[in-house]
Amino acid sequence: MFEPNTLRYLDEALVILDQGFQGLPEFTPATQPEPLRAVLREIAQRMQDNFPYPHPLYAGQMLKPPHPVARLAYMLALYINPNNHALDGGRASSAMEKEAVANIAHMFGYTTHLGHLCTSGTIANLEALWVARQARAQGLVLASEQAHYTHARMCEVLQLPFKSVAVDAAGCMDMNALEDALKHESAGTVVATLGTTALGAVDPLHEIMQLRERYGFRVHVDAAYGGYFTLADNLDGRTHAAFEAMARADSIVVDPHKHGLQPYGCGCVLLRNPSEGRFYKHESPYTYFTSAELHLGEISLECSRPGAAAVALWATQQLLPMVPGGEFARGLEASRRTALALHRHLANSARYLAGPAPELDIVVWTMAAPGRQAASRRAQAVFDGAAQRQLHLALLRVPNQLAAAWWPRLARDAETVTALRSCLMKPEHAEWLPRIIERLDNTAAREPLSA
């Protein structure tokens, strides 16, 4: 499962890396091999206390294993341990970061951009909202009820007013509710989520753009989870139209450490207007002497940032170019096909109550039962039983509004419904889907339908 045979390529690359520093006097860092070995062995033992995230039978949370080239490139870069805050801390890795970020911007259709990597989607969204505040002062921030909870939290940090907008039956931002808010509030920024972390729902960005023409707000796209699906050719028409509109957004966030096959943490923030770099202007008396060019540290709220993350991302993009029809794109398309196939199985079985058809690769369902409480109990039992069969799913608490729309025949004896949730984000899930369904069905068969 962990591909140790690829480590020999790291040995070869280290020899080449070392050749670049042959002019230095001989220096061997002091190490004590046996104590080091003992600590690593203990770590290996302790790390067994994890779910099998890389395995296809892990189909729960959005945990996608890094590509082997990303792992190896990250480890190789750690021998230098560059800091991409300033060029004198990471010259080569800073150049790789600029190239990698430019590739991502191009993927979204940006013809101009300013951007960089950061530690997470949370920090990337914080930065995008900070720029929005600098550009539009204290305007209200609007995001859907299914948007990531950190938007409200980041608005508190930035002292920006925040308001949630209702969603439709698919979990996407409701356009009537948004326009009603725009009529009664002075909105500075609307956050469109392209791939909510609970449902994989995609807000209708193309329709939000039409409202922008009337109301003049800034548009920020949180595509931390779903952004890479812009390359997929098997999205439905409405979802495709939303991704097509990304090039007109003022800012975009995407997480390469989700669908981009990268180790944690690797987020990315992009601004469409490079002149907004002026908001970052600051002075540092000891870090900005190596070049007159704009440093990555001058366009980031973070200071020290791992150059190894940039090297890993750059390496992955070299091996798997982010282009429509390429191997990387085909992997995303496979994940969506697998999610649709699982949804069809659930919808055609009397044992399950399927949620909405997946827009990306997240599937949600609960168990057939007379009422919400019984469905929730059965979902929890299937979650536990599936884990005993080495099938690892996730749980989701579905709010009343969505539960009523999806499963109207469930007696409303509770305000929420506990549902099962699966992120089929590994391309290998396609091949393993029959075994996933077999384990799921065998577990569900142990739970009587009338429970």
Q: Minimal CA–CA distance to 345: which of 432, 441, 417, 418?
A: 441
Which residues make Cβ contacts (< 8 Å) with residue 101, sequence separation at least 6? 113, 115, 116, 117, 268, 270
Between helix 205-215 and helix 237-244 the angle, nearest 10°, is 50
Distance CA 6, CA 425 (A): 23
151: three-class secondary structure by DSSP: helix
| Single pTM value for the model | 0.94
Structure tokens at 338: 């697998």
Strand partners, 56: none
Q: Which residue segments constitute the domains of the chain, with CATH numbers given? A: 78-319 (3.40.640.10), 327-445 (3.90.1150.170)
Task: For residue range 130-159, list pLDDT tens digits in order.
Answer: 999 998 766 899 999 999 999 999 999 999
How much is the pLDDT for 283? 58
Where does residue 349 rank: exposed (0-12), middle (13-18), buried (19+ CB within 10 A)? middle
Which residues make Cβ contacts (< 8 Å) with residue 139, sequence separation at least 6? 132, 160, 161, 186, 187, 188, 189, 217, 218
Per-residue confidence of the chain (451 residues) as pLDDT tens digits?
A: 788 889 999 999 999 999 999 888 988 877 788 888 999 999 999 999 999 999 999 999 999 999 999 999 999 999 999 999 888 889 999 999 999 999 999 999 999 999 999 999 999 999 999 999 998 766 899 999 999 999 999 999 999 999 999 999 999 999 999 999 999 988 999 999 999 999 999 999 999 999 999 999 999 999 999 999 999 999 999 999 999 999 999 999 999 999 999 999 999 999 999 989 888 876 555 555 555 566 787 788 888 899 999 999 999 999 999 999 999 999 999 999 999 999 999 999 999 999 999 999 999 999 999 999 999 999 999 999 999 999 999 999 999 999 999 999 999 999 999 999 999 999 999 999 999 999 999 999 987 654 4
Q: Give the sheet arrangement for strand 362-367, strand by strand.
A: 352-354, 362-367, 417-423, 394-398
Average pLDDT over all residues of the chain: 93
Residue with tokens 């973070």: 302
Length of the chain: 451
Per DSSP, the residues of 65-132 read: PPPHHHHHHHHHHHTT--BTTSGGG-HHHHHHHHHHHHHHHHHTT-SS-EEEEES-HHHHHHHHHHHH
Distance CA 174, CA 91 (A): 46
